[in-house]
Structure 1
Amino acid sequence: MIYKNAILFLLLLTLLSCKTTVHTDENLEKAKNVILLIGDGTGLSQISSAFYFKETSPNFARFNSIGLINTSSSQQNITDSAAGATAFASGIKTYNGAIGVANDSSEVKTLVEIVSPKNIKTGVIATSSIQHATPASFYAHVINRGLYEDIAVDMVHSDIDFFAGGGRKFFNKRKDGQNLLGDLEAKGFGIDTLALGNFEEVKQYSKMAYILAEDSMDPVAKGRGDFLPKATELGIQFLNKDEEHSNFFIMIEGSQIDWGGHANDADYLISELIDFDDAIGVALDFAEKDGNTLVLVTGDHETGGFTLSSTPKQTEEGKSYSDYNEITGTFSTTGHSATLIPVFAYGPGSEAFSGVYENTEIFHKIMEATNWSNRD
């Protein structure tokens, strides 16, 4: 008995002498930069199409942390892009059509407005007009997403440091006769309305705007080319250029995946999705080298009820059958659907994006992963 007690005593001393490490949130590395890529109208089937139709390996396959979000708005089971993006940008549910305002139409602070005073650079990129619902939700406040000229004014008054997309006419061909391009220049913007430049040509500017179409950009299949991946690379370089204030947040939207869904045009949708996947690759390449960047990829909702079904065919005798060796993109609606949407995360804090949660949690999880809320 004495021998057993001696053994237990020695074991207790050994345990007490061991150093104990307590893992708390403070021990976890915080992200210094965030790249949020939003595939408008992009659900799981849209993403799956890259695995069947892209000639190279999809960049979606490079993620380990994957979750799902519920995208309903405050008043509707099925969200639109305005309410969906406001949830990402401000962490609140609002009604369809609302941009940067709550359910009672009061203004809510966006992520851009929260972090810009903390010397964190910000940017938005889209293949639509830059005043379209998703990009607008990160810097504007209007009760109706169709108020494009008001949204353009909000862009001028915002703290955005870099933007690229279409929507030139809402700056310089306005009903009120104003030319807001001059106002952008007065705020220190370099402005290019012709084509994306290279970093060496624009690095001297404090802010940069590429406004490359009167309204929306052309589809990738009709001449837009590799605008989205190139703008992604240029935006990251520009926002990361100042050594003292190199932290940044950028939102990049593959806008026209949604439009292919609305049109029930599988070729349009898939070509836009593959282009979006190329932009994801640019973001991941930067994040892998940088080591301090959180990359998030998600969609605001699904459009078209899109699925990848077997191709219907007929035998010589006229009998119908399904060819399970061939895939065809099919649709069940020309509108949005209520399906849960995947979230892909890479980098510091990425583990928090696994699981199933509301779309508003994207905002809150970003703030937690970066600790930007507590930054002076």
Structure 2
Amino acid sequence: MVRAKKVAKALVLFGLVALSALQPQGGLWAADDYPRTAKYIFLFIGDGMGIPQRAAASAYTGKPLTVDTFPAQGVTTTAAADRFITDSAAAGTAMASGTKSRIGYLGVDPNLRPVKTLAEMAKEQGKKVGIVSSVSIDHATPAAFYAHVPSRSMYHEIGMALVKSDFDFFGGGGFKDPDGKKSKAPQGNVLEAARSAGYTLVDNKRDFMALKNSPGLKVIAINPWLQDSAAMPYEIDRRSEDISLAEFTEKAVELLDNPQGFFLMVEGGKIDWACHANDGVAAIRDTLALDEAVRVAFHFYEKHPQETLIVVTGDHECGGLTLGFAGTKYETEFNMLKHQKVSFQKFSDEVLKQFRQECGADCDFEKIKPVITANFGLKFTGDPQSDPLVLKPYQEAMLREAFERSMAAERIKADDPETYLLYGDYDPLTVTLTHVLNNNAGLGWTSFQHTGAPVTTSAVGVGAELFNGYYDNTDLAKKTMSVMGLTPQVVYMAEAA
């Protein structure tokens, strides 16, 4: 037994070494003195958007995504400096600057030396710069392009770094700690600092749509409804008075366009959050929302094909999504996913909350059945052999148990392995509902966290051919530098000297 354990440990170590060796180490990924430069650069990042997320979104609509039609298609690895499975801070830093960093680090290398980002380089070139995200604008991925801090949780300091960046356009979610309540050294109010720095702040769709390109204009635009953690709503929950990711992108292009060109990073951040919760429909809908934003950029490219580069990638995969499930064997039925009407977040925060209030002390499972059918399409009567939306007995039993836990307001803890594997850190009934619906459609999940699976990178325009092949996420930044007319290398900032 002891010898078997030693052998197993050795095999694991060998596997990790082999995986490390398989990480691309560079090569023909970029070019000094690249013969052409792009005046306009778009970088789209689907947070948590791995290969299966894109494929699921395409299967859901029955047609290729816009990004699937791009001429350049590559595979990108995502490991951090200190862990095979990355987080958004380390991944964002790699894509923004070309250097590996540690988990949680933003805009700095593993030794905490600040590294210059593509956005900062573009600003130095005289380009205008825009940052858009469907999550809070001080979250890890957007912050990786303008902040240099040892922890992604330093939201107040990140917000102040946003103001000091002097970038021209920020849009999407809000700020998580504008007053510095969680900071050890508060610096005042972020929004007040932004106004003092000359930023125009808008937080409603009417004023947002009325914005016009004018000299010296700097904008911070926040969606009127911040659904959770200062983020925009999931696309499936978006109202008419909310601003879509495509609309943020379109307005950014309008306001940033100028003779020197621009750099625009757009993040679909809630793809990741939906995948953490194993909500396939919410993830698919947010992937499609990002693709609609890409379509805005593509229309711009069609007018400026000799001056524009569009790159679309993911920072990592999330949830271990599989296109196939043991219970359905070779069968899939993606159309049934269209019966889901709300995200896991809205179902937990609004639908279940209202149900509890209305049923009072008599919250019986029979009463929740029509609510489940209305929001997820799952049925409790009929023939499961002919209608995959009809629950099988074991599935109804799973929902009954999860319902009891939810009504008891039970919070699942990560130190309880058995229940964590069932529900993660989410409401038991809600996550069980998404699991059952996803499984019946032929989708499976292996994790409530990120995975180390590679992601797809797609490109069109000037220098797009550089993005073919197999390469690391740090190379993605260096390829972009090549097309910006810069030497593809990590650039350390003056503070580190």
Question: TM-score scaled to structure 1, two decimals?
Answer: 0.84
The one of 238, 248, 251 aligned to 1:223:
238
In 2, the alpha carbon distance for the partners of 1:260 and 1:27 equals 39
In 1, the alpha carbon distance for the partners of 2:34 and 2:133 equals 36
CA contact (8 A) 2:481 2:487 kept: yes
CA contact (8 A) 1:80 1:97 kept: yes
In 2, the alpha carbon distance for the partners of 1:187 and 1:219 equals 31
Aligned-partner residue type, residue 192 of structure 1? V
Moved more, 58-67 or 222-231: 222-231
Change (3 A) 1:188 1:56: farther
Over residues 51-74 of structure 1, what are the superposed CA-to-partner deviations in whole Å (9 max), with x where a residue is unaligned? Answer: 211266521232010111111000
CA shift at 1:31, angstroms? Answer: 1.2
CA shift at 1:208, angstroms? Answer: 0.9
1:306 and 2:321 equivalent? yes
The one of 75, 79, 90 aligned to 1:83:
90
The one of 46, 50, 61 aligned to 1:43:
50
In 2, the alpha carbon distance for the partners of 1:272 and 1:30 equals 31
Unaligned runs of 5+ in 1: 1-23, 321-325
Change (3 A) 1:134 1:359: same
CA shift at 1:327, angstroms? Answer: 4.1
In 2, the alpha carbon distance for the partners of 1:264 and 1:121 equals 37
CA contact (8 A) 1:220 1:226 kept: no
Structural mapping, 1:335-350, within 5 Å: 335-350=449-464
Per the alignment, in what secondary structure is the counterpart of residue 37 of structure 1? strand
Change (3 A) 1:333 1:184: same
Q: Which residue of 2 aligns with 1:126?
A: 133
The one of 207, 212, 227 aligned to 2:218:
207
Per the alignment, in what secondary structure is the counterpart of residue 442 of structure 2? strand
Aligned-partner residue type, residue 294 of structure 2? I
1:161 and 2:175 equivalent? no
The one of 100, 103, 110 aligned to 1:96:
103
CA shift at 1:49, angstroms? Answer: 1.4
Q: Which residue of 2 aligns with 1:5?
A: none
Structural mapping, 1:254-293, within 5 Å: 254-291=268-305, 292-293=307-308
In 1, the alpha carbon distance for the partners of 2:278 and 2:466 equals 35
CA contact (8 A) 1:196 1:231 kept: no
1:367 and 2:481 equivalent? yes
Aligned-pair identity (%): 34
Q: Which residue of 2 aligns with 1:19?
A: none
CA contact (8 A) 1:37 1:298 kept: yes
CA shift at 1:284, angstroms? Answer: 1.1
Per the alignment, in what secondary structure is the counterpart of residue 76 of structure 1? coil
Structural mapping, 1:117-196, within 5 Å: 117-172=124-179, 174=181, 176=186, 178-195=188-205
Counting strand residues as a fraction of each chain, which structure ranks higher?
Answer: 1
CA contact (8 A) 2:88 2:316 kept: yes
CA shift at 1:203, angstroms? Answer: 2.0
Over residues 238-264 of structure 1, what are the superposed CA-to-partner deviations in whole Å (9 max), with x where a residue is unaligned? Answer: 111x33x3x111110000110111101
CA shift at 1:115, angstroms? Answer: 2.3
Over residues 144-166 of structure 1, what are the superposed CA-to-partner deviations in whole Å (9 max), with x where a residue is unaligned? Answer: 11111110011111131101022
CA contact (8 A) 1:131 1:148 kept: yes
In 2, the alpha carbon distance for the partners of 1:341 and 1:196 equals 37
Change (3 A) 1:46 1:89: same
Question: TM-score scaled to structure 2, two decimals?
Answer: 0.64
Aligned-partner residue type, residue 257 of structure 1? I
Over residues 104-124 of structure 1, what are the superposed CA-to-partner deviations in whole Å (9 max), with x where a residue is unaligned? Answer: 112111222222122111111
Aligned-partner residue type, residue 331 of structure 1? W
CA shift at 1:26, angstroms? Answer: 5.7
Aligned-partner residue type, residue 213 of structure 2? K
The one of 105, 116, 120 aligned to 1:113:
120
Aligned-partner residue type, residue 46 of structure 1? Q
Moved more, 230-239 or 365-374: 365-374
Q: How many residues align?
A: 342
In 2, the alpha carbon distance for the partners of 1:53 and 1:177 equals 46
Over residues 160-208 of structure 1, what are the superposed CA-to-partner deviations in whole Å (9 max), with x where a residue is unaligned? Answer: 1101022245335746482222221222211102236456533235211
In 1, the alpha carbon distance for the partners of 2:131 and 2:109 equals 22
